[in-house]
């Protein structure tokens, strides 16, 4: 995770010093949200802080996903330039397991050539940089060797195609990717093992950042209405705990156990506050109900990681 982080209470203090009823203008497009996000985020270095701020200034869950995803990827690949949207490209027709990656990165002259396809890319329309998983063959143990390629979307041979809107957060465009005979410069290939350094930890890093962004959005709502003081305090406690967890190794099984507990508490908080959305304006309430399935998208994967983590400690006793 990003080693640079603020005091756990710093973001909460910032939120509490905003106007009691933040004036959030309608944000119909990603650019509308980004124009609010960029000025607010400049004072924050840690990616989780920025994700929380991004959720706080958003008027809908779609932009909280944008904030969490964008900052998670920046945490994973610190060299990504600030303010330029990027997308992680892993999933193929066979899934996202290392054995399912058929996109190839082969030596060519003094660089590499990239060929393949990806079937599901978040924020495909907005991305200007793609971080692509590719195989360079198999190692001595028979397992695929994976590398990650940082690729500009305007590189010759890159084709991004938008997919139909999802039933929730339809503002976030997903897409497919075709890669044909792309000449890859040596400096575009990221250091480290593609799976252990990037793909595997990103699952946990993304969970943390999206969770933080969602809590930022809920905080603004809870302060603006306002919702009961005890509920606001409980939400702040979850945020402080998440910031503390963000400095740990995302591959540590104990992190998965603690993060699973935080998700469980947040889900319970969301369930208990469901009637309070009647106090918000109808459009905000309807969007929240429509987009609520977003919080369950990765539930199966989170449950599997949580079970594996508990098994690790059971075996180690």
Which residue segments constitute the domains of the chain, with CATH numbers given? Answer: 10-77+197-316 (no CATH), 86-189 (2.40.110.10)
Taking the alpha carbons at both ends of the chain, their separation in whole angstroms is 28
* Residue 309 backbone dihedrals phi, psi, to 5 degrees: -65, -45
Q: How confident is the model at residue 299 (pLDDT cuts 50, 70, 90)?
A: confident
Q: Which positions ≥6 away from 19 have C-beta within 8 Å?
A: none
What is the model's pLDDT at position 264?
Answer: 95
Can you tell me the distance from the alpha carbon of 223 to that of 273, in angstroms, rounded to the nearest whole number? 13
For helices 200-224 and 61-76, give the axis angle rounded to 10 degrees: 140
- The per-residue pLDDT for 141 is 80
Averaged pLDDT, 94-111:
92
Buried b / exposed e over 30-62, threshold 16 CB at 10 Å, is: bebbbebbeeebeebebbbbbbbbbbbbbbbbb
> pLDDT tens digits for 160-213?
999 999 999 999 999 999 999 999 999 999 999 999 999 999 999 999 999 999
3-class state of residue 109 by DSSP:
coil
Question: Among the residues of the chain, which ranges form H helices?
Answer: 10-16, 30-41, 47-56, 61-76, 200-224, 229-245, 253-272, 282-291, 299-316
Q: What percent of the chain has pLDDT over 70?
A: 96
Q: Which residues pair with 177 in a beta bridge?
A: 118, 160
Where does the pLDDT of residue 316 fall: very low under 50, low under 70, confident under 90, or very high at 90 and above?
Answer: low
Q: pLDDT band at residue 154, thresholds of 50, 70 and 90?
A: very high
More confident residue, 7 or 170: 170
| Predicted pLDDT at 315 | 64
Kindly report the pTM of this predicted structure. 0.94
C-alpha angle 189/122/100, rounded to 5°?
60
Least-confidence region, from 16-25, 44-53, 122-131: 16-25
Nearest-angstrom CA–CA distance, 205 and 246: 8
Q: Is the pLDDT of residue 52 over 90?
A: yes
Q: Tell me the average pLDDT across 227-248.
A: 94
Q: How confident is the model at residue 3 (pLDDT cuts 50, 70, 90)?
A: very low
């Amino acid at each position: 995770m990003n080693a640079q982080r603020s005091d756990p209470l710093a973001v909460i203090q910032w939120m509490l010093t905003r106007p009691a009823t933040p004036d959030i203008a309608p944000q119909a497009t990603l650019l509308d949200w980004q124009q609010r996000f960029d000025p607010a985020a400049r004072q924050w270095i840690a990616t989780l802080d920025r994700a929380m701020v991004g959720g706080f200034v958003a008027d809908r869950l779609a932009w909280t996903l944008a904030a969490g995803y964008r900052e998670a990827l920046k945490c994973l690949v610190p060299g990504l330039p600030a303010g330029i949207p990027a997308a992680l490209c892993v999933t193929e027709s066979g899934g996202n397991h290392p054995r399912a990656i058929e996109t190839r990165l082969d030596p060519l002259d003094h660089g590499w050539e990239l060929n393949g396809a990806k079937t599901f890319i978040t924020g495909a329309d907005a991305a200007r940089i793609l971080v692509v998983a590719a195989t360079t063959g198999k190692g001595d143990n028979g397992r695929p060797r994976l590398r990650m390629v940082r690729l500009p979307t305007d590189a010759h041979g890159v084709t991004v195609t938008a997919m139909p809107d999802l039933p929730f957060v339809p503002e976030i465009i997903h897409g497919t990717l075709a890669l044909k005979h792309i000449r890859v410069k040596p400096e575009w290939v990221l250091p480290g093992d593609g799976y252990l350094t990037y793909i595997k930890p990103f699952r946990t890093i993304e969970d943390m950042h999206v969770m933080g962004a969602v809590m930022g959005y809920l905080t603004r709502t809870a302060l603006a209405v306002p919702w009961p003081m005890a509920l606001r305090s409980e939400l702040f406690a979850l945020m402080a705990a998440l910031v503390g967890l963000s400095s740990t190794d995302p591959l540590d099984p104990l992190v998965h156990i603690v993060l699973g507990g935080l998700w469980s508490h947040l889900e319970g908080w969301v369930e208990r506050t469901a009637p309070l959305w009647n106090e918000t304006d109808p459009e905000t309430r309807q969007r929240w109900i429509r987009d609520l399935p977003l919080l369950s998208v990765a539930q199966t994967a989170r449950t599997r990681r949580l079970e594996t983590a508990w098994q690790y400690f059971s075996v180690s006793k």
